[in-house]
A and B are shown apart, each in its own frame.
Chain A
Amino acid sequence: MNSLTRTMKAKKYRIALIEPSILLSEGLKAIFHAHPEFEIVSYSTNIPHFLERPTAVPPDIILINPMVIDFQRQNHVRSVFSAYPGALLVAIVYQFIDQDVLKQYHGSITVFDDPRKIQKKLNHAINTTHGAPEAIDNFDLSDREKEILMSVVRGLQNKEIADMHNISIHTVISHRKNISRKTGIKSVAGLTVYALLHHLLDQDEIE
């Protein structure tokens, strides 16, 4: 009874498989057969076939060989599956694939992975994606960040900045991280240019 309720409660991940090779797809089906938390709900050898046959409930994971996506759209993989915004994209890799292309996927498995590793990689993709932070869209520096920026540009060390503003070193570091994230500039020399171009600083001040 106990074990039954546990299996019923456990989330089952629905996988749509898009892979032209019969050998590979049969192998993957056999592997997932042994792992009840994954279920292959649709199988296609190409994209049009997949898109024409929507499943009743959308898949949680789209397991796809990146090579089935035509070249022009390889850098816009998400747009191909815009009808499935909630699905994780996991690549099946068995040849060299450009890193930039692969970056668009939530994860990847290779033909050299054993069943345990495949399962682990899928779980990793599931867990890391759910925990991902929301996009941050405010890129203006706050007044506090501007003050910290000025201290950094004047060559003060984190400890000195912390004392001057009565905050902990930890807070200084976190401000500095936010400044670099917002401005896209990491080096002190680069931040100095930023401050000058934004009229926060006069040239003679740094000389």
Chain B
Amino acid sequence: MKHLLFSGKQKLSDLIHANYKLLLVLPRFNIKLGFEDRKVNEVCERYGISPHLFLMVCNVCTFDAYTPGRKEAEQLDIDGLILYLTRSHQDYREHRVPVIKGQLDRLLDYHDKKEEKSVRQFFDGYSTEVINHLHYEENTVFPYIYGLKRGIKSGQYHIKQFEKNHGNIEEKLHDLKNIIIKYLPDQGDAELRNQVLFNLFWLEEDLNRHTLLEERILIPFVQQLEERLNNTGEHE
């Protein structure tokens, strides 16, 4: 099965043609467009990125059935992955969510006060929840992992607790799509309304891929770290 995944010897441009959504992945690795016909390995070397990590991320973002094997997971550049995740968070906070908010605000200008207020409140509630979750990962989960790496198991926290947190956020995004598709009265700028929806669908897919990266790469790796620490019995 392995030869059906992306490899370092392919041209980076071919990866993008195979899955254009990888365009969102590149800036989070700091890779700029205009890489001519360079192969994945060459581009990664140029930017000082682990090609192993880059390919893992691209594969998870493209092939639904792909989960890295145990051996692959062991070689993971965990600092690189956390950097990637942190940059993705930044992207959600500074670009994806504010862009949707701006469009939604303009769209709602056409609606009466009651409609405008209720949808706006709903979106604000949603985005606060997203941002809180990102904060939680950055301030609790990532420091915990850095600690584990240095051999410190801090407090009662366990990576298993982490997995529960995504459900609500996904539910609300799904609701928001339905509200805009089905229930918001037909007024105002239809083109703008479509743009909002496209952005919501993209955001949803992107967040799902983000969750997959955490579930298929980050969490199994951290569980291995935890096991190793428990076995050697090093506690602080």
Q: Which residues of A contact B (CB under 8 A)?
A: 95-99, 183-187, 189-190, 192-194, 196-198, 202-203
Residues of A within 8 A of B125 (CB): 189
Q: Which residues of B contact A (CB under 8 A)?
A: 1, 4-5, 63-66, 114-115, 117-119, 121-122, 125-126, 168, 171-172, 174-176, 178-179, 182-185
Contact A189 B114 (CB under 8 A): no
A198–B118 Cα gap in the complex (Å)? 12
Smallest beta-carbon distance A94→chain B, Å? 8
Most chain B CB within a 10 A radius of its CB, from A96, A184, A190, A192: A190
Contact A190 B117 (CB under 8 A): no
Contact A192 B175 (CB under 8 A): no
Contact A190:B185 (CB < 8 A) given known A95-B1, A96-B63, A185-B179: no
A173–B48 Cα gap in the complex (Å)? 54
B120 nearest in chain A by CB position: A193
Contact B4 A184 (CB under 8 A): no
Most chain B CB within a 10 A radius of its CB, from A96, A198, A203: A96
Residues of A within 8 A of B168 (CB): 187
Residues of A within 8 A of B115 (CB): 196-197
Residues of A within 8 A of B119 (CB): 193
Residues of A within 8 A of B114 (CB): 196, 202-203
Contact A203 B172 (CB under 8 A): no
Residues of A within 8 A of B1 (CB): 95-96
Smallest beta-carbon distance A13→chain B, Å? 27
B174 nearest in chain A by CB position: A186
Most chain A CB within a 10 A radius of its CB, from B63, B118, B168, B184: B118
Residues of A within 8 A of B183 (CB): 193-194, 197-198
The residue from A97, A190, A197 contacting B176, defined by CB atoms under 8 A apart: A190
Smallest beta-carbon distance B160→chain A, Å? 25
A197 nearest in chain B by CB position: B183
A126–B98 Cα gap in the complex (Å)? 48
Smallest beta-carbon distance A29→chain B, Å? 24
A96–B103 Cα gap in the complex (Å)? 37
Contact A189 B172 (CB under 8 A): yes
A-B interface, 10 closest residue pairs, ranked by CB to CB distance from nearest? A190-B175, A184-B178, A99-B64, A196-B118, A185-B175, A197-B183, A96-B63, A193-B118, A186-B171, A193-B122
The residue from B4, B172, B185 contacting A197, defined by CB atoms under 8 A apart: B185
A-B contact pairs, 6 of them (CB 8 A): A96-B1, A96-B63, A184-B174, A189-B175, A190-B171, A190-B172
A190–B184 Cα gap in the complex (Å)? 12
A206 nearest in chain B by CB position: B118
B3 nearest in chain A by CB position: A95
Contact B172 A95 (CB under 8 A): no
A192–B117 Cα gap in the complex (Å)? 12
Contact B4 A96 (CB under 8 A): yes
Contact A96:B174 (CB < 8 A) given known A193-B183, A203-B114: no
Given contact pairs A96-B5, A184-B182, a sample of 15 additional A-B residue pairs in the complex whose CB atoms are under 8 Å apart = A97-B65, A98-B64, A99-B65, A184-B175, A186-B174, A187-B172, A189-B122, A189-B172, A189-B175, A190-B172, A192-B122, A194-B179, A197-B179, A197-B185, A198-B183
Contact A187 B63 (CB under 8 A): no
Residues of A within 8 A of B63 (CB): 96
Most chain B CB within a 10 A radius of its CB, from A98, A187, A194: A187
Contact A183:B178 (CB < 8 A) given known A95-B1, A197-B184, A203-B114: yes
Residues of A within 8 A of B185 (CB): 197
Most chain B CB within a 10 A radius of its CB, from A95, A96, A189, A194: A189
Residues of A within 8 A of B117 (CB): 203
Most chain B CB within a 10 A radius of its CB, from A183, A186, A193: A193
Residues of A within 8 A of B171 (CB): 186-187, 190
Residues of A within 8 A of B121 (CB): 189
Contact B172 A96 (CB under 8 A): no
Contact B118 A186 (CB under 8 A): no
A97 nearest in chain B by CB position: B65
